[in-house]
Amino acid sequence: MYQSIKSTFIDLFSKEPLLVYSPGRINLIGEHTDYNGGYVLPAAIDKKMVVAIAANDSGIGRIYSVDFKEEFSFDIASFSPKKGHWATYVMGVVSQLQQAGYAVKGFDMVFGGDIPVGAGLSSSAALECAVGFALSELFGLNIPKKSIVHYAQKAEHTFAGVQCGIMDQFASVMGKKSHAIRLDCRTLEFDYFPIDLGAYKILLIDTQVKHSLADSAYNQRRLECEEGVSAAKQIQSDIKDLRDVSLDLLGQLDLPSVVYDRCRFVVEENQRVLDSCDLLSKGDLEGFGEKVYQSHEGLSKLYEVSCDELDFLVDYTKEVSGVLGSRMMGGGFGGCTINIVHEDIIGQLQKDVSEAYERKFNKSPKFYIVSPEEGTGLL
């Protein structure tokens, strides 16, 4: 993959590029807690977005997407979002760096990767982080890694129009091999937790669906959580986020039932992250697996961001010996389930799940075995 991207760049621009990578991410547990000031437990993975880049003297950003086989150019001094287009993620990062006072000049870029798009593995965040890091390296901007995280997140907000939390970009940039990151999304304090799964592997099962209400429902959930926080502040003025709300306090609030359910899920999920870190540090994989199943139950019933395909895959694993835990991962309404599976049964599980899923939904799922890897860097 790296060689293909490098040779494509040389063919297009007749010069040697700088090569940068940024990985996709999984989230072991802690879904929709990030924008509520809570905790998450992500890890960078061994699937990456790769950027080849070199300066040019034109004042133009010239980009080529290997995956889309498409070119795009924009004037570095004057540009705006192009809704729904992949180039928006690149331009969004350039815009953020410029607003922060960094001098971004004309550049040539080729990018591609092996992160499945639409599977909930944050291919867009990986691209944003790779672009930010690549521009910093190329122009000697010396942007701190944590700042690249912030600029990439703001690019998603302002250019792509998705009000994402900080987790995806943080995991992509700050990942560490064989570790997960317990990230406090309010303070950005973090700890690395070794992921020692022994004979177990992390298997992602991709539903191959992405229901169209994902983005609008995401923004709606944020509003519902904010409604809960506003009500809680009437009783306890120092509350900033749902992370500060206890189940006891939540029960005292006069909330519509749907808002109560959303808030209850986030409060419980936040605690599950902390409990999971304790369980993993003790090597209690079975206890951790139970938390993973509980997370899916809440996502499906209380937060209502699952779908028939995701629920089917999670329910299927409950009858299989050798699966410790399964849940939907990411924003919801499609994408992947994350599964902790004994290595001896992975092949058979993939076969059985494929057959059952095809019977039910007339399509085949995809499977990815992933492992925690290093975050953004130079190749």
Q: Give me the CATH number covering residue 53.
A: 3.30.230.10
Mark whether 102 and 151 lie in a shared domain.
yes
Determine if residue 65 is labeled as part of a ligand binding site.
Answer: yes
| pLDDT at site 141 | 97
Residue at which a domain ends, from 147, 178, 194: 194
Higher pLDDT, 334 or 108: 108
Instruction: Indicate the pTM of the whole model.
Output: 0.89
Evaluate whether residue 378 is within a structural domain. Answer: no
Is pLDDT of 112 > 70?
yes
Determine if residue 134 is labeled as part of a ligand binding site.
Answer: no
- How many domains are there within the chain? 2
Joined together, the tokens standing for residue 11 give: 């063919």
Is 67 assigned a catalytic role? no
Evaluate whether residue 66 is within a structural domain. Answer: yes
Tell me which of 124-133, 210-219, 368-377 is least confident. 210-219
* C-alpha of 96 from chain center: 20
Determine if residue 206 is labeled as part of a ligand binding site.
Answer: no
**Other residues' Cβ atoms within 10 Å of the Cβ of residue 208:** 18
Evaluate whether residue 379 is within a structural domain. Answer: no
Is pLDDT of 65 > 80?
yes
In this prediction, residue 304 has a pLDDT band, given cuts at 50, 70 and 90, of very high
Evaluate whether residue 129 is within a structural domain. Answer: yes
* CATH code of the domain containing 288: 3.30.70.890
Mark whether 26 and 170 lie in a shared domain.
yes
Range of the domain at 328: 200-370
- Mean predicted confidence (pLDDT) in 31-41: 93
Long-range pairs of 113-116 with CB within 8 A, sequence gap ≥ 24: 113/1, 113/24, 113/47, 113/48, 113/49, 113/50, 113/67, 114/1, 114/47, 114/48, 115/23, 115/24, 115/47, 115/48, 115/49, 116/47, 116/206, 116/366, 116/368
Mark whether 282 and 315 lie in a shared domain.
yes
Mark whether 157 and 43 lie in a shared domain.
yes
Is pLDDT of 213 > 70?
no
Is pLDDT of 161 > 90?
no
Is pLDDT of 5 > 80?
yes
Is pLDDT of 215 > 80?
no
Determine if residue 80 is labeled as part of a ligand binding site.
Answer: no
Residue at which a domain ends, from 194, 222, 243: 194
> Phi and psi of 79, rounded to 5°?
-155, 165
Determine if residue 121 is labeled as part of a ligand binding site.
Answer: yes
- Mean predicted confidence (pLDDT) in 111-121: 85
In this prediction, residue 162 has a pLDDT band, given cuts at 50, 70 and 90, of confident
Mark whether 179 and 256 lie in a shared domain.
no
| pLDDT at site 348 | 97
Q: What whole-number distance in Å separates Cα of residue 199 and Cα of residue 259?
A: 41
Q: What whole-number distance in Å separates Cα of residue 271 and Cα of residue 185?
A: 14
| pLDDT at site 296 | 98
Contacts of residue 42, defined as CB under 8 A and 6 or more positions apart, other chains included, come to 25, 26, 27, 28, 30, 167, 168, 170, 171, 175, 180, 181, 183
Is pLDDT of 75 > 90?
yes
Mark whether 205 and 188 lie in a shared domain.
no
pLDDT digits (tens, 9 = 90+) for 317-371: 999 999 999 999 988 899 899 999 999 999 999 999 999 999 999 999 999 999 9
Evaluate whether residue 375 is within a structural domain. Answer: no
Instruction: Give the 3-state secondary structure of residue 139.
Output: coil
Residue at which a domain ends, from 162, 194, 226: 194
In this prediction, residue 66 has a pLDDT band, given cuts at 50, 70 and 90, of very high
Mark whether 74 and 185 lie in a shared domain.
yes
Determine if residue 8 is labeled as part of a ligand binding site.
Answer: no
Q: What whole-number distance in Å separates Cα of residue 348 and Cα of residue 367?
A: 12
Is pLDDT of 71 > 70?
yes
Mark whether 178 and 215 lie in a shared domain.
no
Determine if residue 371 is labeled as part of a ligand binding site.
Answer: no
Mark whether 358 and 223 lie in a shared domain.
yes
Percent of the chain surpassing pLDDT 90: 86
Evaluate whether residue 349 is within a structural domain. Answer: yes
Evaluate whether residue 96 is within a structural domain. Answer: yes
- Mean predicted confidence (pLDDT) in 222-226: 96
| Mean predicted lDDT score pLDDT of the chain | 94
Mark whether 159 and 293 lie in a shared domain.
no
Contact by Cβ (8 Å): 178, 195? yes
Evaluate whether residue 376 is within a structural domain. Answer: no
Joined together, the tokens standing for residue 88 give: 């928006």
Mark whether 262 and 338 lie in a shared domain.
yes
pLDDT digits (tens, 9 = 90+) for 277-288: 999 999 999 999
Joined together, the tokens standing for residue 145 give: 């890694």
Which residues are registered as beta bridge partners of 338? Answer: 204, 327
- The catalytically annotated residue of 67, 108, 168, 275 is 168
Mark whether 179 and 300 lie in a shared domain.
no
Only one residue has tokens 């004042």, namely 59
